[in-house]
Structure formats: structure tokens, C-alpha cells
């Protein structure tokens, strides 16, 4: 519909962006009406472009209303611009009202949706109550500063709906921002990750890991005591990922099945003798 690169701010300088959009004059009601008909009836993209750029300053004004959410101003403006373009696409000039009167709802919807999506990694605003609370956080906070909820003020704020401690609980949840576990705590070198309690017994896990490494080292040394052919047989039979048959190992080594069996038995006796001394819990059947 419209060249987005001319509408969505790409500079980090807010003042430069404002200077750019202020170059576009505001439209008179009749001029706006004619442009709207040209776009609706004939798909005139130049008319649509003029409708959009002449209202960009209003997007900035609306986006500034959401400065309390600590989002980047240019990101909010960008989302508002997308809402404005959607409004131009759907605008019906026959109804008699100005474009911005209709577009303000689309602009707010896009900005609010962006805030809701980027506020937290955890999805919020899944119910109508949560959405109302989210966009009234600052006013709700004033009612929750004390130990007791101002119930009359809260009912008025919540459009007359009876809400009590559920409001407090929802506010506490929605008003919290995401926090990196690797962020340091005050002036110390400790991070929030360091303060997490492990679900399992780390000491036992470390001991088990250490014992496993010791076993692997002993087995490696035991295998080094075998002859080259014995080691080939043992590795082929038990350390190849899938246990192979005597015949399969014999075929790969070019020896008979019986010879493989003999080499395997000899290897087991050597391994058993060595490992029974080194490891109490290891036994091999000859």
C-alpha cells in the first residue's frame, strides 16, 4: 500500500525524525476526504501516502502517552505507524469523521499489543481483567500503596466490577519485569544465578561423576594390557555402539568365529584379574 521505509523511523535521533515528519503539512478536511476516496475507489497509493505522512505527528503524540512503560520511544512510534497505515487501508470517508478520529484506535491497538508482547518472556494479558490492569498500572499502584486496598476506588477504576485481593495479586505479577539471572547483586560479584537452589543434590552428583571418570580411566588402562588382536575383539564385541556377534567380529578381522571366542575369553580373564584389584564393583564373567 505505502512505502514503509518512508514512514517507519529508522534513525536513532528522535529530533531528526520529528524534523522530518513536520515537513508534511496537515490536511484540510475536504482535501483529506478527496484523498481517501481516491485511495478507496481507485487504489491510488500516492493518495494513501499523503494520508499517512500528514498524520505521523499524531502517532508521536499518542506514543508519548505510553512513556511510563519504559519502552524505546522510536519502537512505540514505529508500531503506531503500522496502526496508522492499517487505519488508512480500512478508512471509510463516507462516514463523515476525520481520519485521525478513526486511526487513533488502530494506533493505540498496535502500540498496546507491542507493549504486551515485549513486556515479559512470560505471556501476560491473557484475560480481559489482566489487560485492563496492565494499562492502568500507574493508577492501580496508588491504590495499593497501603496495607489495605481502597475498594471503592478500585471498583470505580475497574468499571464497577467487584475486585479485591485478586487485583493486588495480578498487579504484583504484571508490574514485575524480566530479570537476567546473570545480573550482579548490588556491588558484589555474585549473580542471581548463584542464589538459585538446586533441585538435586549437587554434592552427590559430583561424587558420582568423579567415580565414573575414575572407572573409565581404570578400564582404559586395563584395555591397554591386552594384545592388539584381543583389544580389537573386545572393542568390536562391546564398545562399537551395538554389540556384534562372534561371527560379525570374525568377518571384520578375517578370522574364524572360534578364534574370536578364544581371544574374547583370554581378554576377559586379563580384564577381570586387573579390574577386581582396582575396582571393587567391577566383575567380568570369564
Question: Cβ(159)–Cβ(151) under 8 Å?
Answer: no
**Residue 264, SS3?**
helix
Question: Which pLDDT band, with edges at 50, 70 and 90, does 102 fall under?
Answer: very high
Q: What is the pLDDT of residue 146?
A: 47
CATH-assigned architecture of domain 202-278: Orthogonal Bundle (1.10)
Segment (H or E) for 229:
helix 228-238
Residue 70 has a CB neighbour count (10 Å cut-off) of 9
Burial class for 150, CB neighbours closer than 10 Å (0-12, 13-18, 19+): middle
Residue 9 has pLDDT above 60, yes or no: no
Measured CA distances, 89 to 36, 57, 76, 262 (Å): 9, 19, 20, 84
| Residue 128 pLDDT exceeds 80 | no
Q: What is the mean pLDDT of residues 183-189?
A: 70
Mean pLDDT of the chain: 76
Looking at the chain, the whole-number percentage of residues with pLDDT higher than 90 is 28
pLDDT for 11 beyond 50: no
For the question of whether the overall pTM of this predicted structure is more than 0.85, the answer is no
**Which cell is 80 given?**
503506531
**Pick from 10-14, 241-245, 258-262: least confident:** 10-14
Q: What confidence category does residue 171 fall into, taking pLDDT thresholds of 50, 70 and 90?
A: low
Q: Across residues 109-131, what is the average pLDDT?
A: 69
| Predicted confidence (pLDDT) at residue 3 exceeds the cutoff of 60 | no
Average pLDDT of span 93-120: 87
- The CATH number of the structural domain formed by 4-118 is 1.20.120.1810
What is the H or E stretch that residue 145 is in? none
pLDDT at 271: 80
Q: What is the pLDDT of residue 54?
A: 96
Residue 83 pLDDT > 90, yes or no? yes
For the chain, the domains span 4-118, 120-196, 202-278
Amino acid at each position: 500500500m505505502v512505502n514503509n521505509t518512508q514512514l517507519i523511523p529508522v534513525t536513532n535521533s528522535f529530533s531528526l525524525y520529528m524534523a522530518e515528519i513536520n515537513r508534511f503539512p496537515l490536511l484540510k478536511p475536504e482535501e483529506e476526504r478527496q484523498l481517501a476516496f481516491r485511495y478507496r475507489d481507485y487504489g491510488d497509493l500516492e493518495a494513501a501516502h499523503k494520508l499517512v505522512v500528514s498524520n505521523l505527528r499524531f502517532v508521536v503524540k499518542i506514543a508519548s502517552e505510553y512513556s511510563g512503560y519504559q519502552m524505546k520511544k522510536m519502537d512505540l512510534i514505529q508500531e503506531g505507524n503500522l496502526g496508522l497505515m492499517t487505519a488508512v487501508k480500512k478508512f471509510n470517508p463516507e462516514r463523515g469523521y476525520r481520519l485521525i478520529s478513526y486511526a487513533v484506535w488502530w494506533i493505540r491497538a498496535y502500540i498496546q499489543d507491542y507493549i504486551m508482547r515485549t513486556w515479559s518472556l512470560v505471556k501476560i494479558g491473557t484475560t480481559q481483567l489482566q489487560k485492563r490492569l496492565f494499562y492502568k498500572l500507574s493508577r492501580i499502584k496508588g491504590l495499593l500503596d497501603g496495607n489495605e486496598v481502597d475498594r471503592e476506588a478500585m471498583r470505580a477504576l475497574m468499571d464497577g466490577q467487584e475486585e479485591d485481593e485478586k487485583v493486588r495479586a495480578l498487579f504484583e505479577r504484571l508490574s514485575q519485569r524480566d530479570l537476567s539471572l546473570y545480573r550482579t547483586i548490588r556491588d558484589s560479584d555474585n549473580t542471581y544465578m548463584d542464589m538459585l537452589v538446586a533441585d538435586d543434590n549437587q554434592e552427590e552428583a559430583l561424587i558420582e561423576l568423579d567415580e565414573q571418570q575414575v572407572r573409565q580411566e581404570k578400564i582404559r588402562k586395563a584395555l591397554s594390557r591386552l594384545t592388539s588382536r584381543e583389544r580389537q575383539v573386545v572393542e568390536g564385541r562391546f564398545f562399537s555402539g551395538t554389540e556384534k556377534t562372534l561371527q560379525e567380529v570374525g568377518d571384520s578381522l578375517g578370522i574364524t568365529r572360534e578364534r574370536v571366542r578364544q581371544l574374547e575369553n583370554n581378554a576377559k580373564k586379563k580384564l577381570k584379574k586387573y579390574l577386581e584389584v582396582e575396582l571393587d564393583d567391577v566383575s567380568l564373567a570369564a
